[in-house]
Structure 1
Amino acid sequence: MDTTLHDPLLGRMLDARYRVEQRIAVGGMATVYRGLDTRLDRVVALKVMHAGLAGDPEFTARFIREAKAVARLAHANVVNVYDQGADGDAVFLAMEYVPGWTLRDLMRDRGALPPRTVLDILEPILAGLGAAHRAGLVHRDVKPENVLLTEDGRVKVTDFGLVRAVSGESSVTTGQVMGTVSYLAPEQIEQGATDPRTDVYACGILLFEMLTGHKPHTGDSPMQVIYQHLSTDVPAPSTLVPGLAPQLDAITVAAAARDAARRPADAVELLGALQHIRRELTPAQLDAEPGAVAPAAAAATPRVERTSIMQLPPPDMVMPRHAQPLEDQAQRTPRAARRPQRRRRAAWVLPVSLLVAAALIVGGASWAWNGLYMRMPSVLGLTQPVAVRTLQDDGLTVRVRQDFSGTVARGRVISSDPGVGSRIRKDSTVTLDVSKGPDRPAVPSLSGLSLAAAEQAVKDAGLAVGTVTRQSSDSVPKGEVVGSSPAAGAKQQPNTPIDLVVSSGAAPVDLPDVVGEPLDQATSDLQDAGFTVVIAPQQVFSADADPGAVAAMSPDGQTAAKGSTVTVTVSKGPQLVDVPDVTGLHEAEARKLLTAAGFKVQVIKLNPFGSPTVHIESPNGNQQAAKGSTVTLTLL
């Protein structure tokens, strides 16, 4: 039964953008689909994590974090990561869609490969891994299934930095485990430790397998293979394929050494060694067809024709190896069917002659084609003079561009166009991108920006926000940036902390007390002290200020920020109200009426005995007096 018919993701839109169209492959951690980015109208590969792993928050967080790191690794020999997202229970990556086939398909179909083809494949792999290593990334799962060969001859590595040991239950089958453990380094098995030399070990195993058609360690179970990784050195490939150049034996054994310290430090170092070996080998050594192998492997290693990856058809275009030879068919033909052949020979002589002629024409055209074209050699990591001389020695014209790089040293080659391994004419022009070293961003001009805007500008420049301090400033409004350290325009290393100084406003100065002063005088005093004066639109009654004088001011403290605004309120003078007549009343009742009318009360008792009443009231009752003023009562 075709289970793809029941895949619930087929036809689904992820993140309202990616339409899942076809299932391509199923792995231990994820399923890969061909999809369509409906926003950009381009075909993408969608890698969707299995539900069991997507439900693990820690694993999902690591998956997202490392996907973001890989997305920054733009390299011609790496499958690009475009986007990452989650839609319900589907956690996914949107990646570059690479039509073609895997290195596993090629080795399964062709067996051992000629050294030139092996180098044509492995050098681009190392170029991509080298860029990752210099960016601080380790692949951790280099194997033929993760190497893609495109239809136009390019080599791309996929699944960068996304594979780690998964704890707990999983749906990984024994075959998938075997496919992975065959390339695990001893330290990866024993301690779970990974660094660039872990990937170098896996490339050493790949090198052995491509040269011989066999893995160096085999067994009936993953544990048997693991034991061999820990206890048995990888043999020289020439033990299975006699006649291989000793340099290939040496580099294979070094790359796959059990002791990590004996391996090349990273993929860049291994790539440099392979490029040196390629220049040492003769054309006969590079193009030698895999010969007779050791008896134990002879039955399993097919003899392959000399070829290059550009000439390899996809797996579904290769003739099956079990096809019956014509000679065997002839031997098994019944005698009755074998009529006298002299008459019939004339019938097949002409077609066969035509086929032979056609083969000669095709062969001649192929020779002419190969005479005009070559493989783009890898000069990645070489110094500019060495790279230019290497390409010019091959008859190529070289154009150099300068670019910043945080991972490639100044003066060394970052990338080439055409890319490593591409088929090019021998008279082509090659463009080299040479490193100017890391881009040293300049501190942006931040003065006058708000703190939030300044912090964003620092981050956009590739720098980090350092300490934020506040200081008074007469010229910069409160809350805006006064300056930075280092200052604007200074060149810095990426992610250098930039300290910011933010204005807390002008420094405080003495604030004159102008309450009670005539308005003109008060305005002059405040302006002379450096303040801006605003007159309140409404005047107020005041018992303490004459009409036209200042009744109140805001702020009313002893100091204020220089240049700040002071609001003054003008007095209308005292408010006159009727004084209640309280003569003849006892003290308590008189006090109550006067207080309610807005007056203060002062009492003079001339007779302390008995129950005195108000004898004199000043000002007199039924007259008008300023509200808030004092009424004096004399009791007898």
Structure 2
Amino acid sequence: MGQTMCVCSRASIIIDNKKYYFVQKLDEGGFSFVDLVEGVKDGHFYALKRILCHDREGRQEAQTEVEMHQMFNHPNVLSLVAHAFVDHGAKTEAWLLLPYMRKGSLWSVLEKLRDKGSSMPEKQILQIFRGICSGLKAIHDKGYAHRDIKPTNVLLDEDDRPVLMDLGSMNRARIEVRGSREAMTIQDWAAQRCTISYRAPELFNVESHCIIDERTDIWSLGCVLYCMMMLEGPYDLIFQKGDSVALAVQNPVSIPPSCRYSEGLQMLLSSIMVSNPQERPNINWVLDQVQDLQSRSPNTQTNMV
């Protein structure tokens, strides 16, 4: 923490021989902090993510996150502007310089709608959701899975272009589980890295001989779509009440009768949120369905308050 205060008090940092002024703190959680910084030369704002690496394993995890960012050049996956590793004795800080999106996360936008007693028009839902799917397709096409898709990990720019962020939980899409020990390892990892109310059913009780694949993201994607429609995740209240999310996800998702979105959108949601991963569609199918819905109702303004 001493170094953190030092960085802020100096009011500037240097990455790749370029100077950036500290503006303000944006967020913090776990072992990472996010600050708003301004480029001295270009005058642009950036988000500086600082990860505290307490050991060699922590440094490797930060390095993996850097490599995940560098793997993609896609408008719906957050790019990495620059990075650096700063050593302080036995400890290291990883600095990831990322684009700053003033509108914030999808979750913050949904919260504002809920506070106003409003809702998101179906046309806007489809536009944003299509972008999320496009970013996820780019990840899956590379043979990886995100593993922590949720509204707080989707940023929006001024034109509502969604960008997937927080690539620290990404790993190879296909994981073959051989034996109860491996199953428990995967289950423990998921408990730490995959947000509980957006976690796929197969990650709660990992079978001793199975294959975990990228369709864990499809389940989470369905939870995000539900959240865009209802302004809360399908299992948020269950978690908040202390009830079992692991038990709840075994049942078909319940769409409230009060839902006023189109039958097509509701059917898409039900098709995505299938408990059995073998029956769950892949990202290409989901993207095709979204594009079809957009073409059939390009001017839909359903449920706009």
- Which bin holds the TM-score, normalised by the shorter protein? 0.7 to 0.9
SS of structure 2 residue aligned to 1:224: coil
The higher radius of gyration belongs to 1
- CA deviation digits over 1:537-587, x for unaligned, max 9? xxxxxxxxxxxxxxxxxxxxxxxxxxxxxxxxxxxxxxxxxxxxxxxxxxx
Other structure's SS at 2:120 match: coil
2:13 alignment counterpart: 13
Q: Distance in 2 between matches of 1:65 and 1:215?
A: 29
| Match status 1:107 vs 2:110 | yes
Match of 2:295 in 1: 279
Corresponding residue for residue 213 of structure 1: 231
Q: Match of 1:252, SS?
A: helix
Measure, in 1, the Cα distance between the counterparts of 2:247 and 2:7: 41
CA-to-partner distance for each residue in 1:86-137, whole Å, 9 max, x for gaps? 1123112111222222111111111332221210111111111111111122
Q: How does 1:251-270 map to 2 (within 5 A)?
A: 251-266=268-283, 268-270=284-286
Paired with 1:152 and 1:276, the residues of 2 have a C-alpha distance of 22
* Corresponding residue of 1:233: 252
CA contact (8 A) 1:254 1:264 kept: yes
Q: Sequence identity of aligned pairs in percent?
A: 22
TM (norm. structure 1) is 0.39
CA shift at 1:138, angstroms? 1.5
- Matched letter for residue 274 of structure 1: V
Tell me the distance in 2 between the aligned counterparts of 1:94 and 1:122.
26
C-alpha contact (below 8 Å) 1:140/1:198 kept by paired residues: yes
SS of residue paired to 2:261: coil
Query: Does the CA contact (< 8 Å) of 2:219 and 2:272 recur in 1?
Result: yes
Match of 2:177 in 1: none
Instruction: State the TM-score, normalized to the length of structure 2.
Output: 0.77
Corresponding residue number in structure 2 for 1:97:
100
Please give the alpha-carbon distance, in whole angstroms, between the structure 1 residues aligned to 2:205 and 2:96: 31
Judging changes above 3 Å, is the alpha-carbon distance between structure 1 residues 223 and 262 closer, same or farther for their aligned structure 2 residues? farther
Conserved? CA contact 1:139–1:163, under 8 Å: yes
1:45 aligns with 2:51: no
Shift of 1:195: 3.1
Quick one: structure 1 residues 78 and 130, their matched pair in 2 at CA, closer, same or farther if it must change by over 3 Å? same
Indicate how the Cα distance of structure 1 residues 29 and 181 shifts in structure 2: closer, same or farther if over 3 A, else same: farther
Which sections of structure 2, spanning at least 5 residues, go unmatched?
Answer: 172-185
Equivalents in 2 of 1:166, 1:90: separation in Å? 28
SS state of the match for residue 287, structure 2? helix
Secondary structure of the residue that 1:100 maps to in structure 2?
A: coil
Q: CA RMSD in A?
A: 3.2
Superimposed CA distance per residue, residues 373-415 of structure 1 (whole angstroms, 9 cap, x where no aligned partner): xxxxxxxxxxxxxxxxxxxxxxxxxxxxxxxxxxxxxxxxxxx
CA deviations 1:233-292 (Å, max 9, x no partner) are: 212x35341x433222221112111111222222x3211111112333484xx3221xxx
Q: Following the alignment from structure 2 to structure 1, what is the Cα–Cα distance between the partners of residues 29 and 290?
A: 31
> In structure 2, what is the Cα distance between the partners aligned to 1:161 and 1:138?
11
User: Residue deviations 1:329-378, cap 9 Å, x none?
Assistant: xxxxxxxxxxxxxxxxxxxxxxxxxxxxxxxxxxxxxxxxxxxxxxxxxx
Residue-by-residue CA offset, 1:566-621 (whole Å, 9 max, x unaligned): xxxxxxxxxxxxxxxxxxxxxxxxxxxxxxxxxxxxxxxxxxxxxxxxxxxxxxxx
Q: Write out aligned runs for 1:3-402 (5 A).
A: 7-10=5-8, 11-15=11-15, 17=18, 19=20, 20-37=22-39, 42-49=44-51, 51=52, 54-88=53-87, 89-111=92-114, 112-162=119-169, 180-191=195-206, 195-217=213-235, 218-221=237-240, 224-235=243-254, 237=255, 239-241=257-259, 243-266=260-283, 268-281=284-297, 283=299, 286-289=300-303, 305=305
What whole-Å deviation, never above 9, does each CA across 1:43-69 have from its counterpart, x for those lacking one?
3221111x3xx1131232133134213
Q: Is the 8 A contact 1:113 1:212 kept in 2?
A: no
Local SS of the residue matching 1:215? coil
CA-CA distance at 1:41 after TM superposition: 6.1
CA distance in 1, matches of 2:106, 2:249: 26
The number of residue pairs the alignment matches comes to 271
Stretch of structure 1 that moved more, 224-233 or 25-34 = 224-233
Matched to 1:72, the amino acid is M
Q: Structure 1 132/31 Cα, relative in aligned 2: closer, same or farther at 3 Å?
A: same
Give 1:384's aligned residue: none
Higher deviation after alignment, 192-201 or 96-105: 192-201
